[in-house]
Structure 1
């Protein structure tokens, strides 16, 4: 039995490290991909995690397979495809650590995942199924993702969904929003940024925007990440804001994925159905998850910055009033 199976993109993040003496930027190779980050976060914190996806049959793909295994993630469902390269993402950072991206994915091996590549019986042996929108940008991975997600829902497995807005990877903003809405219609747990909330709903206000998602798409548990300001959460009709942590941020890559992984950890540990959660339960989840997300921003790289439980507990102890 798995605690989580995550499906989607596994890629290389090239993170800027500075400038050469000749004034040219240089980059560090880091493992990335939002669903893979969530799986790695849970595995690092002691849960049994598995990943489904495709990488190229190249040195990058083999590197990523080794990294996931190093975190303890089961990679039985990871396929090396000779017909596509491992997707590459070059990250550009502002002085505040905020990101923009350049992608090399035409096609990326992650978009070549097919329905035939997925062992549905493994999904049935999981406590939660996690996916994002970026495996739905192109076929055949779009159909494979939706088939897997619909199968999980049919079997009564809760679905966690991350819209993960990256417009350069979509044919149009309209297509991006349409597919994110499909994800929302399947999900029980959703994590969005402020930008993603407005993109999907057209509403800036957290209370109104999350109510729209709850009432329109039936998502009972919603998180809006707010960086160092913490997060806004909704559990059905109850809402609240959990405080964040002020840290010296150098790279926000993977912080939202770490936050979501930490939320899922606490929910799995709680051992109850989502409809049994109280607002107080969710607030406690957020207090822990905000700390995990904050720690990740103090280091370079997303997956590479994931903390273990000892580091998290030490951070919370140092920063608690």
Structure 2
């Protein structure tokens, strides 16, 4: 069946809330790629996380959380740094993140730190997210991408607050293109697409990514659902999202990627374009369930939980 390698950041989220009439921050293990790794593991895939952690108590909690979730840590390196904090405030269910910590504990993985056999033997390699803004980790991700012999999946997971001007956006756009050109699957949100490519429609963005070399493209759009484009000549298809009582959308997009990776590990690539529609439809149900619980990684469900919430 094989395993997936997920390369990226792990940190601690502080989620803005209220307790007994007072403002509080609730601590949750997070980071988009960590959410993906945990989500895929909970859906039955074997997963190895690759990234850098700090050396404090919070980093110990991250390591323990990965162990409990069944995510391997063979590719994790520990550095003398405090764990980066992602502070999230909310407008409705959508989180707005700001990041704190110097140096960034997730930005200390270099290309020389990679476990080469771990990368080359993986059936799926995931890369993306905010680590691409850290030169050492970008170099590591590029090396891993070049070493990979399995399927390559990519998610830019753009955080606009980390892009101070249009020059930074343009630089990230070029970085993204370097991964997209050889990606078997690209997943991004409509918000990511807007930051990177302006006011272009989701359909136009999918065509642009196919022109760069991407295989299947999935663009998530919250309550609207997701656009699926296989690049095989058929028109892109919009799939509806399930109707849910959303309380926290943290990790929803990550759970879509997690579900798609889990299915790639368990069942391989779809043999027909329609197979992607079935898989994205399932991934949207996973995301719907995630939105009904607070937190990111802690809200990732099992297949049994998805089946119970959305019986067929």
TM over 0.5: yes
1:125-136 equivalences under 5 Å are: 125-136=121-132
Partner of 2:16: 16
* 1:85 partnered with 2:90: no
Unpaired stretches in structure 1, ≥5 consecutive residues: none
> Contact 1:159/1:188 (CA < 8 Å) preserved in 2?
yes
1:17: how far off? Answer: 2.6
Q: Gaps (5+ residues) in structure 2?
A: none
Match of 2:152 in 1: 159
Rounded Cα–Cα distance in structure 1 between residues aligned with 2:5 and 2:132: 17
TM-score (norm 1): 0.91
* Cα contact 1:133–1:179 (8 A) shared by 2: no
The alignment partner of 1:89 has SS state of: strand
Residue 297 of structure 2 corresponds to residue 300 of structure 1 = no
Query: 2: distance between equivalents of 1:265 and 1:115?
Result: 26
| Structure number with higher relative contact order (C-alpha < 8 Å, ≥ 6 residues apart) | 2
Instruction: Give how far 1:182 is off.
Output: 2.0
Q: Which residue of 2 aligns with 1:199?
A: 195
Separation of aligned partners in 2, 1:277 and 1:169: 39
Q: CA deviation at 1:193?
A: 0.9
Alignment of 1:161-310 (within 5 A): 161-170=154-163, 172-215=168-211, 217-236=212-231, 237-238=233-234, 239-272=236-269, 277-310=271-304
In 2: Cα distance, 1:288 partner to 1:227 partner: 15
Note the C-alpha offset of 1:213. Answer: 0.9
Q: For 2:158 and 2:65, how far apart are their aligned partners in 1?
A: 25
Q: How far is the alpha carbon of 1:265 from its aligned partner? A: 2.0
The CA deviation at 1:147 is 1.1
Counterpart of 1:55 in structure 2 is 53
Q: What is the DSSP-based 3-state SS (H/G/I as helix, E as strand, rest coil) of the residue aligned with 1:178?
A: helix
1: CA distance, partners of 2:118 / 2:6: 11
- Structure-2 separation of matches of 1:2 and 1:271: 10
Q: Contact 1:160–1:190 (CA<8 Å) still a contact in 2? A: yes
CA contact (8 A) 1:9 1:34 kept: yes
Asked if structure 1 preserves the Cα contact closer than 8 Å seen for 2:9 and 2:106, the reply is yes
| TM-score normalised by length of structure 2 | 0.93
User: What residue in structure 1 maps to residue 4 of structure 2?
Assistant: 4
Pairwise CA RMSD: 1.7
- How far residue 178 of structure 1 moved from its aligned partner, in angstroms, is 2.3
Partner-residue secondary structure (3-state), 2:154: strand
Partners in 1 of 2:265 and 2:138 — Cα distance?
28
